[in-house]
Amino acid sequence: MTDMTGLDLTRKLIAFNTISPPGNEADCAKFIAALLEPAGFEITWHDWQSRRPNLIATLPATEPVSRGGIVYSGHLDTVPLGQAAWSVDPFAGEIRNGRLYGRGTSDMKSGVAAAILAGLRLAHEPVRRSEVKLIFSAGEETGCEGVLALAERPDILGTCEALIVAEPTDNRPFVGHKGALWLSLVHKGVTAHGSMPEKGVNAIFAACKSIEALRRFDFGVAEHPVMGGASLNIGNMSAGMNVNSVPDLARVGVDIRSTVGQSNAQIRAQLAALLDKDVEIEPLTDMDHVYTDPQTPWMQEVFSVVEDVTGVEPSVGAATYFTDASVLKPAMGDPTTLIMGPGAMAMAHQTDEYCETALMAPCIDVFTRLGQQHVA
């Protein structure tokens, strides 16, 4: 089975329609388990929802354990196809001009395939002094729901020393990613007839006051040299039922991306102090940032392996999107964490999504060598 190429396996994975919602990752997960179990992986199922399992595959150590395990992680769900028509069948895995097309090719079934094949190679290592674990989750695209449920089961999840999340980075080794805090700010008023606005309390005016306060808001955190500064975007607003009534409810959607030196909990406290006390702050997504100092020995090892495999000296970088690492890193004992995968960052969630075929083999090699060095 280790003779299967990354492209072959990615094509098989994208043939499973795991668009979320509804997700339906079960068949894809069972296919993966059928590859791993004969190689010696112990399979654990965490049934988060009906036909939406998290798959945990563990390759035990062959010798007395001398260090914490290494974990490869990826999600099996994908985003919807979107409104625009695709020029290719999104589930056929067509290869054209060095690109593999299909929903999930970059985000992130090519990364999942790389992790699987690295795991299968590690199963042939005669000596393993730590365990190897593969975690393939459901429901990541809707706010890491699968791993949030899995984190409530430490008996299943366990801990590790190193974590690799195979999200799309064009094979660049990222040391982390920004946090995401999505909020709905709820403003309540009193409705009245539009011809007598003095009889009501207009919730839109309260929302506008909040928006002006947010436009002037300063996080009070310096820009990080790798991850950059925190950002705040007001993405949507909904209010009112009809033009001739005073609106008694207004919601403002806020997207905050946090950086090193702040936590989402601190940001929520800052906003609570900034906004009027009667503004309700409802969290929609709350994922803290992830960061590993690039000078740590394992990250230096990562950079060395990437350069050796690709022939290019990697630069230190971080992702703008969030990943399951936001949940797995704190839940698994704060391991050093690498975000890296063969998918194209720019193609995530795009119509006619593709990944570059030339990036698959190097990624598998990097994942394998990192695992070999870890378990040796």
Is-contact 72 166, C-beta < 8 A? yes
Q: Which CATH architecture is the domain 179-287 placed in? A: 2-Layer Sandwich (3.30)
Pull the structure tokens for residue 229: 């500064």
**Residue 6 confidence (pLDDT):** 95
Which pLDDT band, with edges at 50, 70 and 90, does 2 fall under? Answer: low
Whole-number Å distance between alpha carbons of 108 and 342: 9
Type of residue found at 302: V
Locate tokens 């919730």: which residue?
Answer: 203
**Residue 188 confidence (pLDDT):** 98
Burial class (CB in 10 A: 0-12, 13-18, 19+), 244: exposed
Which pLDDT band, with edges at 50, 70 and 90, does 117 fall under? Answer: very high
Percent of the chain at pLDDT above 70? 99
Phi then psi for residue 22, to 5 deg, are: -90, -10
List, for residues 166-182, the tens digit of each pLDDT value.
Answer: 999 999 999 999 999 99
**Residue 236 confidence (pLDDT):** 97
**Residue 255 confidence (pLDDT):** 97
**Pick from 291, 309, 310: nearest CA to 226:** 291
Whole-number Å distance between alpha carbons of 229 and 221: 8
**Residue 104 confidence (pLDDT):** 98
Phi then psi for residue 341, to 5 deg, are: -165, 165
What average pLDDT score do residues 82-109 get?
Answer: 97
CATH number assigned to the domain covering 6-177+289-375: 3.40.630.10
Is-contact 161 130, C-beta < 8 A? yes
Is-contact 158 314, C-beta < 8 A? no
List, for residues 362-374, the tens digit of each pLDDT value.
Answer: 999 999 999 999 9
Catalytic residue among 25, 77, 107, 167: 77
Residue 191 Cα distances to 121, 204, 205, 240, angstroms: 65, 11, 13, 9
Question: What are the residue ranges of CATH 3.40.630.10 in the chain?
Answer: 6-177+289-375
145 has pLDDT over 70: yes
**Residue 4 confidence (pLDDT):** 86
Which pLDDT band, with edges at 50, 70 and 90, does 3 fall under? Answer: confident
301 has pLDDT over 60: yes
262 has pLDDT over 70: yes
Catalytic residue among 107, 131, 140, 248: 140
Known active-site residue 77: yes
List, for residues 205-259, the tens digit of each pLDDT value.
Answer: 999 999 999 999 999 999 999 999 999 999 999 999 999 999 999 999 999 999 9
List, for residues 20-63, the tens digit of each pLDDT value.
Answer: 999 999 999 999 999 999 999 999 999 999 999 999 999 999 99
Which pLDDT band, with edges at 50, 70 and 90, does 84 fall under? Answer: very high
What average pLDDT score do residues 316-340 get?
Answer: 96
347 has pLDDT over 90: yes
pTM score of the predicted model? 0.94
Percent of the chain at pLDDT above 90? 98
1 has pLDDT over 90: no
- Per-residue three-class SS string for the chain: CCCCCHHHHHHHHHCCCCECCCCCCHHHHHHHHHHHHHHCCEEEEEEEECCEEEEEEEECCCCCCCCCCEEEEEECCECCCCCCCCCCCCCCCCEECCEEECCCHHHHHHHHHHHHHHHHHHCCCCCCCCCEEEEEECCCCCCCHHHHHHCCCHHHHCCCCEEEECCCCCCCCEEEECEEEEEEEEEECECCECCCHHHCECHHHHHHHHHHHHHCCCCCCCCECCCECCEEEEEEEEECCCCCECCCEEEEEEEEEECCCCCHHHHHHHHHHHCCCCCEEEEEEEECCEECCCCCHHHHHHHHHHHHHHCCCCCCEEECCCCCHHHHHHHCCCCEEEECCCCCHHHCCCCCCEEEHHHHHHHHHHHHHHHHHHHC
**Residue 51 confidence (pLDDT):** 96
**Residue 222 confidence (pLDDT):** 93
Pull the structure tokens for residue 45: 């199922």
* Terminal C-alpha separation, the chain: 23
What average pLDDT score do residues 305-328 get?
Answer: 96
Pull the structure tokens for residue 84: 């625009």
Locate tokens 């690295």: which residue?
Answer: 118
Question: What are the residue ranges of CATH 3.30.70.360 in the chain?
Answer: 179-287
What average pLDDT score do residues 129-153 get?
Answer: 97
